[in-house]
Amino acid sequence: MNIIIGLDPGASTGCAIYRAGQLAHLQTIEPHEIDSYITEVQPARVVFEDSRLQSKVWTPAKGAAALKVARNIGEIDAWCRLITAVCARLGIAAHGISPKGKGAKLTAEQFAVVTGWAGRSNQHERDAALVARPYRGAAA
């Protein structure tokens, strides 16, 4: 069965699984669980939101606020490198999509209309599903 994982890396990493083109599962995991999650699911492809692909990802700030934003983006960049490395080790096709390339954030109601998902979801899970949605029918 063709399984595609979508990931929205962050302090709360959103995960989405598409099976045979249908959204089958959403959950949120800790970043340190990314390796075991991908290893356990063994998807044909992993698609993830990759902040490294967008030159400007925040509004300039000053002082401590700027440092916090820079640290957060640095962490996410590291998790994107982790995803790429895990997939390379396992022989799984993987690629990132820029935050802009994913499209606008959707409310739970909008997400249900677009995907048909009737269950609960948070923003991280919805972003993970949306980043992988265009690839849900693609072969590795």
Average pLDDT, the chain: 89
Distance CA 39, CA 41 (A): 6
Structure confidence at residue 124 as a pLDDT band (50, 70, 90): very high
Q: Which residues are within 8 A (CB) of 76 and not within 5 positions of it... i.e. 6 or more apart?
A: 9, 10, 51
* pTM: predicted TM-score of the whole model, two decimal places: 0.88
- Token output for 68: 């916090």
Report pLDDT for 45: 97
Other CB atoms within a 10 A radius of the CB of residue 35 amount to 15
Structure confidence at residue 33 as a pLDDT band (50, 70, 90): very high
